[in-house]
Structure 1
Amino acid sequence: MAGEGWTWQVAPPEGWLLVPTAATLPPDLLAAWEQEVAGLVRSSLFDDGPERESDGDPADRDPADRNPADRNPADEDPDGVLDAVRDGIAAESVANLRAFADGVIDGGALVVATFRVPDSAPVPVLATVGIEPLGDPGDDLMTALGATGGSPVAPPRIEHVDLPDGDGMRVTRLDLDPQNGGAWVSVCLGRRTEHADAVVDTVLQWRSQDLLQGPAMTELLDELLPAVSILRSAQ
């Protein structure tokens, strides 16, 4: 996938998942994956968490005295409308992830999503790996990271990152959507590793209109990068 003589893969850390595509899983396994992940999304967004032991069993208390977080939705939603809405939100989230992954796989990219952003559906990150000849100036890498091009509100913020296995660079930028004037924030993290006959570039890209996610995604991309491993293919 990375190039002739090379392969790469992502071993998602805890709280992350690799999003499959229609080209990588048969329909029955893909449907099973979607169902399982929809359940995880629903739990992450709507479950109230463990009950506090000091409060006793909420079922033993009068409904009027219960903590709102302990109430059973069925008590107030006998027809299951709320459950149906929550199921729909979770299913839509999974469908969006799958559509994103199906849309980029032909370009050799993978989509990895994290559950680690509070109060959010799984947040997708685009992962790509490219092989360049020795002496490559890195123009394509800089473009992929967002260091050049586009119409940023201010010059992109470029940071060099110390990595144990290569040279790292993080680019953070804010752009205006020319169609509606909305703001887009992006954080991209790159790694360039030199070999005897080539340089290998890893790029993680995150982009969203939720500006508040930026700090969390900066830390999470740092966590994800070591999970992308590149190996020479068997000759």
Structure 2
Amino acid sequence: MTTTNSGEATTAGWSWRVDPPAGWLVVPSTLTEDHADIAVWERGAAGAVRVSLEQQPDADGEPVAVHDAMDDAVGAALDRMAEESVVNLRAFADGMAPEGHRVVARLGVLGRGPVPVLVAVRVSDPAEPDDGLMAALGATGGYPAAPPTVEYPELPDGDGVRVVRLDVGEETGGAWLSVGLGRRTDHSDAVVDTVLVWRTQDVLLGAAMVDLLDELLPAVRVTRGAA
């Protein structure tokens, strides 16, 4: 996989990019983007994260700004949290870039900081289609606390697979929840898989993230050839 400075990636003759819906950030990597572009992104992202941290969900889960009640100390703490969140997102994106993954983050989920999601596109020969989709989504492998839940949502542009699983960390013993959402699109000369994966110990986010991955998947645009 290669990635241009516009954020577009190419995989086996196919191009793909994420056109983020409202509330999502595509996180650049130093391995694929110009440093000047990253600096501009960091300033804008820090501001967006700061605004999202000023909001807390009401009884219906809708974000409500609470900034009028803040004192200077709380505001300064939110500034630091926003800056640290952007640093962490960037480090995560750098770590994932060598594997061909992009990182996209959702802001304002139940009052939390940015929630990162991995995005990848895989292309295989239709005569020997890649059999790694289910493994990439978490349907196989590892030692889940219970058999993963596998669903097949209907999609307008391919076959969908959703996997939800709960694991127990071998070192910490804590629970890890993961949600994977995939799309397989068959072409005469290629099988194209789009993979979204989110994993956390904050299990209370699970239901919200299932819906949000459904929102994100159509934003991953895959086209034949480079733009």
Shorter-chain TM range is 0.7 to 0.9
- State the partner residue of 1:61: none
- State the partner residue of 1:73: 71
Residue of structure 1 aligned with 2:157, choices 165, 171, 196: 165
Q: State the one-letter code of the partner of 1:229.
A: R
Whose Rg is larger?
1
Query: SS of 2:195's equivalent?
Result: strand
- Structure 1, unmatched stretches of 5+, are 50-67, 75-80
CA contact (8 A) 2:28 2:93 kept: yes
- Tell me, yes or no, if structure 1 residue 13 matches structure 2 residue 21: yes
TM-score where L is the length of structure 1:
0.83
Displacement of 1:155 after TM fit?
Answer: 0.2
Residue of structure 2 aligned with 1:84, choices 38, 62, 76: 76
- State the partner residue of 1:27: 35
Separation in structure 2 between the aligned mates of residue 19 and residue 140 of structure 1, nearest angstrom: 25
CA contact (8 A) 1:16 1:116 kept: no
Q: State the one-letter code of the partner of 1:143.
A: A
- State the partner residue of 2:61: none
Shift of the 89–197 alpha-carbon distance from structure 1 to 2, 3 Å rule, reads same
Query: SS of 1:190's equivalent?
Result: strand
- Tell me, yes or no, if structure 1 residue 100 matches structure 2 residue 92: yes
Corresponding residue pairs, total = 211
TM-score where L is the length of structure 2:
0.86
Separation in structure 1 between the aligned mates of residue 151 and residue 82 of structure 2, nearest angstrom: 36
- State the partner residue of 1:148: 140
Higher strand share: 2
Query: SS of 1:154's equivalent?
Result: coil
The one-character-per-residue Cα deviations of 1:36-66 (angstroms, maximum 9, x if unpaired) are: 21121112112589xxxxxxxxxxxxxxxxx
Separation in structure 2 between the aligned mates of residue 151 and residue 43 of structure 1, nearest angstrom: 39
- Tell me, yes or no, if structure 1 residue 226 matches structure 2 residue 224: no
Higher helix share: 1
- State the partner residue of 1:64: none
- Structure 2, unmatched stretches of 5+, are 2-9, 58-65
CA contact (8 A) 2:138 2:163 kept: yes
CA contact (8 A) 1:115 1:122 kept: yes
